[in-house]
Amino acid sequence: MSGHGFHVHGPHDHELEHAAQHGDSHAGQLAVVTAILATVGALFGYMGGATQANAGLFKNDAAIKKTEASNQWNYYQAKSSKQNLSELALELAPESRKQFYQDEIKRYKGEKVEIKAAADKLEAQATEFDKKSDEQIHQHHRWAQATTALQIAIAMAAIALLTKRKWSEYLVYGLSAIGIATGVLAWFHI
């Protein structure tokens, strides 16, 4: 600040003037890289959250289908019990009632075939939902790994700017490459 010919400026002002006069493009370049990494990291974080939510939904669908299949198997078991009682009754019934119990046994056998098919279909659907959930969890882990690598790269960029050490800048670029490569793996479900 100047007043009556006397000029005083603080250390921050001096650094800004020095950077403007001597052109510290390194700091500017690293700042742009950091902003890009933060943006990509935010996108990766979003994708990680989305895949985690999808995995939960698929796991929930699998549980619902398993419950429905269990209900079908219970129904199958009830029909088997009724069939067994009809078979027992067939042996004990008078000749005039035997045809009734034979018809009942035949009906229960037919119903059990349909119930078993429905239960098998529900179990297959549950297995498919479990598989989809596992795939989403794997993809979620990839997104989380990518996001973590980019977050560490951003932290290293701050250290590189403060210390002006070349090795820390190389570490920023290396971690960035690892993070982006892991994100690409997540994108392609690898």
Mean pLDDT of 96-119: 96
CA distance 137 to 51: 7
CA distance 100 to 138: 57
Mean pLDDT of 72-85: 96
Question: Does 142 have pLDDT greater than 60?
Answer: yes
Q: Bridge partners of 2?
A: 7
Give the torsion through C-alpha atoms of 94, 100, 102, 105, to 10 deg: -120
pLDDT in tens, 21-50: 665 677 888 999 999 999 999 999 999 999
pLDDT exceeding 70 applies to what percent of the chain?
87
- Mean of the per-residue pLDDT values for the chain? 90
Q: Bridge partners of 7?
A: 2
Question: Does 153 have pLDDT greater than 60?
Answer: yes
pLDDT in tens, 83-103: 999 999 999 999 999 999 999
CA distance 52 to 62: 15
Which residues are CB-neighbours of 119 under 8 A, at least 6 positions away? Answer: 69, 72, 73, 76
pLDDT exceeding 90 applies to what percent of the chain?
79
Mean pLDDT of 137-160: 96
What Rg value do the Cα atoms of the chain yield, rounded?
35
Where along the chain do its domains lie?
Answer: 30-187
